[in-house]
Amino acid sequence: MGTEALHDLTAAYALDALDPQERREYEAHLARCERCRDELASLSDTATSLAYAVDPASPGPALRERILSSARAERPNVVPLRPRWAVPAAVTAVVAVAAAIALAVWATSLSDKLDRERSHASAQERIAAVLAAPGAHPYGVPNGGVLTVTPNGEAALVLRRLPAARKGMTYEAWVAESGTPRPAGTFEAAGDVTAVALAVPVPHGATVLVTQEKDGGSQVPEHMPFITVKTA
């Protein structure tokens, strides 16, 4: 199969609509094609959203224990220190785990991109540290986004497709416990994903707000919040 034809299989692969031969060819191609790995990353999320359109259903109550006892029996098999993406050869080998491997393969390209964007490293590292912190708790933000708060109260706000602020205005985050909200930093919209590490901690039960304020920010919110996320 030609390379162009293989590019065209990304959607079908994301939907698991390839026969075994096509699947193997595509996975071999995937290991070499960064464009397809990027595209597959995105289309896999979309394809998987179809799983949520189905009514969830409860399996028999015994299934949980069956899975756990089988896992227990296999426990010694895990070898966590194996290099994670030294797998392209294996991609073609084991159909049952192909999806997991393919996800790891395309994922490597995202890592390369991140490496090239070290200019944002310090802010990104703060955000990444919050997102990866043990015990960090995510709170959904209406219209796409998540507020993540660590047990220490460090917090990161990730918003999807936030449009640019009005002319002369900036976004500002706030943390409210009781009384006047405290300013938690100003920020600008950044394309598809806007990620912000909040400048002040978020105590349990506090509310995180986002408003638009005049350029440079404000010490007290002068505009109505359009995001309000209450933490537990």
Partner 1 sequence: MGKTVDGMSRAFAHLSDEAVVALIARSDEQALAELYDRFGRVAYGLALRILRDEALAEDAVQDAFLTAWRRADTFMPERAKASTWLLTLVHRRAVDLVRREERRRTEPIEAAGERAGEGPAEDAVWLRYERERVQAALSRLPDQQREALELAYYGGFTQSELAERLGQPVGTIKSRMFSGLGRLRELLAEPEPGERTWEPRPSTT
Chain mean position to CA 190: 16
Q: How far is the CB of 83 from partner 1 (least distance, A)?
A: 10
H helical segments located in 16-77: 20-30, 34-52, 62-74
Q: How far is the CB of 13 from partner 1 (least distance, A)?
A: 10
Give the span between the Cα atoms of 15 and 191, in whole angstroms.
27
Q: Write each residue from 45 to 74 as x if it is in contact with partner 1 (CB under 8 A), else as -, in one continuous string.
A: xxxxxxxxxxxxxxxx--xx-xxx-xxx-x
Give the span between the Cα atoms of 95 and 19, in whole angstroms.
11
Sheet of strand 193-197, all strands in order from the earlier edge strand to the far edge? 137-140, 145-149, 155-160, 193-197
Give the span between the Cα atoms of 37 and 13, in whole angstroms.
11
Question: Which lies closer to partner 1 via its Cβ, residue 114 or residue 121?
Answer: 114
Paired sense of beta strands 193-197 and 145-149, if any: unpaired
| Binding range to partner 1, per CB under 8 A, among 17-25, 28-36, 175-183, 196-204 | 17-25
32 binds partner 1 (CB under 8 A): no
Question: Which lies closer to partner 1 via its Cβ, residue 1 or residue 220?
Answer: 1
Q: How far is the CB of 177 from partner 1 (least distance, A)?
A: 20
- 115: tokens are 């490496």
142 binds partner 1 (CB under 8 A): yes
Question: Which lies closer to partner 1 via its Cβ, residue 167 or residue 178?
Answer: 167
Question: Which lies closer to partner 1 via its Cβ, residue 79 or residue 179?
Answer: 79
Do residues 151 and 135 touch, judged by C-beta distance below 8 A?
A: yes
Q: Write each residue from 164 to 203 as x if it is in contact with partner 1 (CB under 8 A), else as -, in one continuous string.
A: -xx-------------------------x-----------
- Site residues for partner 1, 78-137, by CB under 8 A, read 78-80, 82, 84-85, 87, 95-101, 103-104, 106-108, 110-111, 114, 128, 131-132, 134-137
15, 121, 190, 193: residue in contact with partner 1 (rule CB under 8 A): 15
Q: How far is the CB of 180 from partner 1 (least distance, A)?
A: 22
25, 28, 34, 43: residue in contact with partner 1 (rule CB under 8 A): 43
Give the span between the Cα atoms of 188 and 159, in whole angstroms.
11
**Partner residues linked to 24 by β-bridges:** none
Give the span between the Cα atoms of 230 and 28, in whole angstroms.
46
Give the span between the Cα atoms of 110 and 84, in whole angstroms.
14
| Binding range to partner 1, per CB under 8 A, among 5-13, 115-123, 200-208, 214-222 | 5-13
- Quick check: helix, strand or coil at residue 79? coil
